[in-house]
């Protein structure tokens, strides 16, 4: 089983700042990583897949990078609507998710 560890647990930032979220895999997963955004009371939404490819309709402010075991989601020019919990997910083996990072704007 591949374990994904996300950090920090909570990130508090101001509008216009940049958020950097980390996801570390317990073993190499190549570039098989995705990021999801979940707002309260809503279903998750796919932001990034294959480590760095943006899903349809996702603003360019969201970018992903990394390979192997270390991955980053960067949100530039934060907006109040970016307040949410962000999850990473791997598909190198049976799908698994990280514990999430809560971003407060």
Partner 1 sequence: EVLLVESGGGLVKPGESLRLSCTASGFSFSTYAMNWVRQAPGKGLEWVSSISTVGSFIYYADSVKGRFTISRDNAQKSLFLQMNSLRVDDTAIYYCARDLNTIFGVGRNWFDPWGQGTLVTVSS
Q: Which residues bind partner 1 (CB under 8 A)?
A: 34, 36, 42-46, 49-50, 55, 87, 89, 91, 94-100
Nearer to partner 1 among residue 6 and residue 19 (C-beta):
6
As a whole number of angstroms, the distance between CA 99 and CA 79 comes to: 23
Q: Give min distance, CB of 46 to partner 1, in A.
A: 4
As a whole number of angstroms, the distance between CA 44 and CA 55 comes to: 13
Nearer to partner 1 among residue 17 and residue 53 (C-beta):
53
Q: Which residues face 35 on adjacent strands?
A: 48, 88
CA angle 54, 25, 9 (to 5 degrees): 80
Nearer to partner 1 among residue 9 and residue 14 (C-beta):
9
């Amino acid at each position: 089983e591949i374990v994904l560890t996300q950090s920090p647990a909570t990130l508090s930032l101001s509008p216009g700042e940049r958020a950097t979220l980390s996801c570390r895999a317990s073993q190499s997963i190549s570039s098989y990583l995705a990021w999801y955004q979940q707002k309260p009371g809503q279903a998750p939404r796919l932001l990034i897949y294959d480590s760095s490819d943006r899903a349809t309709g996702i603003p360019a402010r969201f970018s992903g990078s990394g390979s192997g075991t270390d991955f980053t989601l960067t949100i530039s020019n934060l907006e109040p609507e970016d307040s949410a919990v962000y999850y990473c997910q791997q598909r190198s083996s049976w799908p698994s998710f990280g514990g999430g990072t809560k971003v407060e704007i």
